[in-house]
Amino acid sequence: MNNQDTALSLAPAPLLSVVVPCYNEVENVEELIRRLAKALQGIFWEVIFVDDDSPDKTSQKVADLAFQDARVRLIHRIGRRGLSSACVEGMLSSSAPYLAVMDADLQHDETLLPEMMTALRSQQLDIVVGSRYVDGGGVGCWDTKRAAYSRFATQISRYFTQTELTDPMSGFFMIQRDALMQRVHRLSGVGFKILLDLFASSSTPLRFLELPYIFKERYAGESKLDNRAFLEFGMLLLDKWIGHLLPVRFVAFILVGGVGLLVHFFVLLLLFRLTGNSFMLGQTVATLVAMTTNYLLNNFFTYNDVQLKGWKLLTGWFSFTLVCGIGAAANVGISSLLFQRQTNWILSALAGIAISSVWNYAVTAVYTWRVPSIGTKP
């Protein structure tokens, strides 16, 4: 082993890893690194950017910066999205004993990181949270509508966390690695609030401290807080409520199927009973419209994190209708067979529906939306 190899083998691992999930943040990453370097002087640290294949080439920008600075690392995810799952992957990629999570838009106060680490090292704590709602904290220049949404989500979140945490919706915290590893297998990986997921997934209460900070204005780029964020928040709460019984995607898939059933009967009523077309024509059109409705709703709600767009939206429709067509045939065949064997007609019908629903869900997840085997739980 030469001297260079010896020097490399003896290089210590970072004490702190700062995990930064990002999507279209190319204008912010360099400034964030500069601010972290200033705030974390005297601490051996690294920053891990987890980029969900941003169209604005954020990953390329981070890769260029990482080539110049060994403290910068990149995880480039392709084919999946989600802030919580990005945070989990980033934290699991690190061997550091202390793991921080913050946004790439510079709205979190990086100067609080040393104080967070000092608290974790000197007190019996699992996690230190940057809070906007303890004395000294604030939401900055939020408008009335956004502040009201935040308060509402915070109240709901506190019910699921069963703690006195004032800001369960915070995306800014630092956690002991051991505390994460004790809970990581119970995480949902759904939505955009990993802190809520951590507290709600914990079988034993997390020992926490909240430190105040003022939420700042975005440095550059556009806010990601849209209808998708609220949808993901709802999916996370649903998973915390019934995820121990059924996968939350499956529940959403079944609910969408109920909507499709209503659409089916509405179209059949319109074509067959009201306009006098043949039953076969009405049933065929109703089935096609219902399948298309189910496909579009599932693409928007159930599989929002791997949503199909452009040309893939059309090819996905072909895949979905083919799979559901096979499921419908199985439904009829199985229910008919059970009925012929003297099974109650209601039970026969329910058995056919159940089997076709599971088939449709399982197969379309793999062949239509190609949900990755790693990443999110549902």
Nearest to 378 by CA among 352, 369, 313: 369
Question: CB-hemisphere CA count at 13 Å for 294?
Answer: 31
Tell me the CA distances in angstroms from 83 to 50, 53, 66, 176, 192, one per residue in order: 9, 13, 22, 20, 5
DSSP string, 77-97: --S---HHHHHHHHHHT---S
In this structure, what token pair is assigned to residue 320? Answer: 């979905």
Among 17, 14, 32, CA closest to 88: 17
What size, in residues, is the chain? 378
The Cα–Cα gap between 11 and 29 comes to 26
| Whether the Cβ atoms of residue 133 and residue 166 lie closer than 8 Å to each other | yes
Q: In the prediction, which pLDDT does 32 show? A: 95
Residue 242: alpha-carbon gap to chain centroid: 17
Burial (CB count within 10 angstroms: exposed 0-12, middle 13-18, buried 19+), residue 195: buried
Strand partners, 47: 18, 72
Asked whether the beta carbons of 260 and 294 are under 8 A apart, the reply is yes
Helix (H) or strand (E) holding 93: none
Token pair belonging to 56: 């604005």
Query: Residue 335: which residues within 8 A CB-CB, separation 6 or more?
Result: 348, 349, 351, 352, 353
What are the residues whose beta carbons fall under 8 Å from the beta carbon of 10, sequence distance 6 or more?
none
Ranges of each domain in the chain: 13-242, 248-367
- Taking the C-alpha atoms of residue 278 and residue 295, their distance in angstroms, rounded to an integer, is 26
**Domain topology for 13-242:** Spore Coat Polysaccharide Biosynthesis Protein SpsA; Chain A (3.90.550)
Determine the pLDDT at residue 354.
76
pLDDT for 1? 47
Residue 265 and residue 286 in contact, taking contact as beta carbons nearer than 8 Å? yes
As a whole number of angstroms, the distance between CA 355 and CA 332 comes to 10
* pLDDT by 10s per residue, the chain, length 378: 455 555 455 667 899 999 999 988 999 999 999 999 999 999 999 999 999 888 999 999 999 999 999 999 999 998 777 778 889 999 999 999 999 999 988 989 999 999 999 999 999 999 999 988 888 887 666 656 566 666 666 666 666 666 778 887 788 999 999 999 988 887 776 655 788 778 877 778 889 999 999 888 777 756 555 455 556 666 666 665 655 556 777 778 888 888 888 887 788 788 776 676 676 777 777 778 888 998 999 888 888 777 888 888 999 999 998 998 888 787 777 767 776 776 676 676 667 677 778 888 888 888 888 765 434 444
